[in-house]
Structure 1
Amino acid sequence: MNERRTMTGVVGTPYYVAPEVLSGREYDQKVDVWSAGVILYVLLAGVPPFYGETPVETFEAVLRGNIRFPTRIFRSVSPEAKDLLRKMLCKDASRRLSAEQVSRHPWVINGGQTMING
């Protein structure tokens, strides 16, 4: 770790590793927000947001960073929950929420009560 509190090196589990880690760029604590976003997606959907048949294919899906919300899976998930996921799984780390910003997101403040529509 250097003085700017950034790190380098490719480490992590394929499903949970942030794109900037895979790209070999410096990264900071926002990689943890990415991983938490993956966990939240799995909790809400039952499947990971980025998938491949092999670790290499999974890494490629992460690098593309195209988050989708299939209707059949996300039909009952609220717009607030999807908004939080989009902001946690933002491929551009400079636009990704920080942990503090996640804690202030309306879905978190409401205790996930708006998780299910209706």
Structure 2
Amino acid sequence: MSKIETMAFNPWLTLARPVLQGLPEQAFEKSASLTVQWLEFLNLRLQEDMGLWNSLARCKTPQDVQRAYADFGKTAWAQYQEYFRALAGTALPKQEIVPVQGSHAKYKAAA
């Protein structure tokens, strides 16, 4: 996402730009990306929350209510997992994974 698209999507970033002027451009882009992800996640969860009430309104038996809540919980759990996995991938620095068995090319030269 370009800086112009980010600013259009997040008007508060445009207002906060003078305060954030000292930050490196990469930090600004990352914070904008995290904000966009958070807003998209909130929108998704809000839609699911409203959908629960529609599902409950259509229930005719106690089993239907139980199924509606179970489906809601299962969906929420999956969405939270997906969001935090994406958040970790965006926010945390990429690290090289060294295999447990066998030697890594980086370490063969040292041996």
Q: Same fold (TM over 0.5)?
A: no
TM-score (norm 1): 0.29
TM-score (norm 2): 0.31
